[in-house]
Amino acid sequence: MNKVQTYSLFTDFDIDLFKAGKHFRLYEKLGAHLIEVDGVKGVYFAVWAPSARTVSVVGDFNYWIQGEHPLQVRWDSSGIWEGFIPGIEQGTTYKYKIQSNNGGIITEKADPFAFYCEKPPHTASVIWDLDYKWKDKKWMETRKEHNDLDKPYSVYEVHLGSWKRHGEENRFLTYLEYAEDLVNYVKETGFTHVEFMPVMEYPYDPSWGYQLVGYFAPTSRFGNPQDFMVLVDKLHQAGIGVILDWVPSHFPEDAHGLGFFDGSNLFEHPDRRKGYHPDWKSLVFNYGRNEVRSFLISNALFWLHHYHIDGLRVDAVASMLYLDYSREEGEWEPNEFGGRENLDTISFLKDFNEAVYSNYDGVQTIAEESTSFPMVSRPTFNGGLGFGMKWMMGWMHDTLEYFQKETVYRKYHQNDLTFSMTYTYTENFMLPLSHDEVVYGKRSIAGRMPGDEWQKFANLRLLYGYMFTHPGTKLLFMGSEFGQSAEWDFQNSLDWHLLQYPFHNGIKKTITKLNKLYKTEPALHEKQFSPEGFEWINYSDHENAVMSYIRKGNDPKDNLIIVLNFTQVVRENYRIGITRPGKLIEIFNSDDADFGGSGVKNDKNVFVENNPYDGKEYSAILTLPPLSAVVYKIDDTKL
């Protein structure tokens, strides 16, 4: 095997950007790149290791012998080691053997910029190119029309290791199998987007992918990088957007990972009060170090560029924002102004969002942020963090708490539901019923519903009816769309056999209808982040446990009337206020017999009366089905 030759992909400008924390295409420079130099094919290697005394590439091509292929450190104090090794081909496994200046410590590390990794439990990086001929031109040219904040955004959250498994051997599906089965299913049920829990390479299955070591590599559990591109491509061709969970908040201490990379605290903050996460027993990035900022933002843009990803949901933002997160008194140090906010994180997140939105049109960033930190989803030029959306954790907690109550007690707790409207428009909120809500003894969403079997499923249909008519975008974890009974188990497939039972199949039909309603009714999405898009009819009928409201679009003729009955009592002759004359047309009823409901409905002709009520000029008398969400439109064409 030929020895290392001097070669560089870096310009002086690249180094300046890197040192300034402003190089957002580092994946084109650092890592391992198949190139040709003077007519000779091979691989250019470059790795950042400023505390290293020596760095050599080891792999199956040199029997993993240290020193056989040493890299050279650049003269510019960037800490980058590089070199060209002729003859190495795609599929070659390798690592970096690093001897540190700090006491001669030797580490053997996977490449932080590797495009592909060995299948766990093996830990080497793999030489790979990212060549692929995309077929999603139509989607990419029009995706802004799908992803804007005034468009329907119904997200199906998927864990690739457990959505479906194959046969008695319980093996994973491949990316290519998902490109058929998952794409067809999502298209059938009508979700607009899929969100994948982390697909970046991770060593430990029980982490669900949230402890990353290969930030630039889709996990090899399900196939190679091009196979994952096929999955994204097929989703796009079916008109479905793709969101990835992204984890810039922490990383594991695995020996081959980023931790103590060159014998120093390179990626992690050197102060354990800022550099160690006590909940997850993991390391925290040093957001104040410019080179780390370049690494992270480059990683975000890498997925948008090479994999055509349409959005990034940023995990655990709250843990990044607060210096005292999960820390007791004395375990954290205030910022320079005496506060608990991590100023480096705030600056980093603003830079990240500005980089995403300035470089890629028609994408969104979404923050999983569980506190009242202000202006998370407001533009940076207005003082915000710059995210497109934020998870509405308060809505999720209050709603599930309410729905778990027996119906006889609900009249005492209606404020649990109405409270969300006091702060709904402070952020661009996404309503999440995510994976975190169906594990660790919390039970499945269906399993939380009270009552007998009929009531449980009626409550679940009502919950989804409420969710889809509440302002904000939507996210539902896999299995919840057919009423999975058991908690989520990452080691096994969803319980697809349940779809043979009418109640479970009815939940799937309900979600399919709600997704269609959300997409086709402008009032449910055009003003979903504006107070102009919502008006109460009556939120104070605690005694009957009934709520009613109006959702509004740009055209008043598109307005919808929603009536929710949170008990199993059929409410006859129930009067609600109406804003204009006409005839009420029922367009959705969660109690429909086709969904597994009792089939209670109003006559086809429910005329609006010239009789003021609920502070409105008109009113109508309805029959409210048990445990139901009913949606009406006003037909005034014959007036």
Q: How confident is the model at residue 605 (pLDDT cuts 50, 70, 90)?
A: confident
CATH 3.20.20.80 residue window(s) in the chain: 151-248+311-324+356-524
How are beta strands 193-196 and 154-158 bridged, if at all? Answer: parallel
**639: pLDDT strictly greater than 70:** no
Active-site choice (201, 310, 368, 521) = 368
Q: Which CATH fold topology does 151-248+311-324+356-524 show?
A: TIM Barrel (3.20.20)
pLDDT, tens digit, 9 for 90 and up, residues 510-530: 999 999 999 999 999 999 999
Amino acid present at 624: L
Residue whose tokens read 């005329």: 607
Mean pLDDT of the chain: 96
Cβ atoms of 322 and 278 closer than 8 Å: no
Pick the CATH number of 531-635 from 2.60.40.1180, 3.30.70.1400, 3.40.47.10, 2.60.40.10: 2.60.40.1180
The three-point CA angle 513-517-519 to 5° equals: 120
Average pLDDT over residues 597-623: 94
**2: pLDDT strictly greater than 80:** no
Q: What percent of the chain has pLDDT over 70?
A: 99
Torsion of CA 133, 302, 364, 198, to 10 degrees: 100
DSSP annotation string for 336-365: TTS-SB-HHHHHHHHHHHHHHHHH-TT-EE
CA 34/CA 133 separation, integer angstroms: 18
Q: In angstroms, how far apart are the furthest CA atoms of the chain?
A: 91
Torsion of CA 469, 473, 477, 480, to 10 degrees: 10
CATH 2.60.40.1180 residue window(s) in the chain: 531-635
Count of alpha carbons within 13 Å of 358, Cβ hemisphere only?
12
Residue 11, Cβ neighbours under 10 Å: how many?
Answer: 10
Does residue 315 carry a catalytic annotation? yes
pLDDT, tens digit, 9 for 90 and up, residues 140-158: 999 999 999 999 999 999 9
Does residue 368 carry a catalytic annotation? yes
- Cα dihedral 604, 608, 614, 616 sign: positive
Torsion of CA 13, 14, 20, 21, to 10 degrees: 150
Active-site choice (315, 427, 591, 592) = 315
Beta bridge partners of 155: 193, 475
Cβ atoms of 78 and 19 closer than 8 Å: yes
**1: pLDDT strictly greater than 60:** no
pTM: 0.96
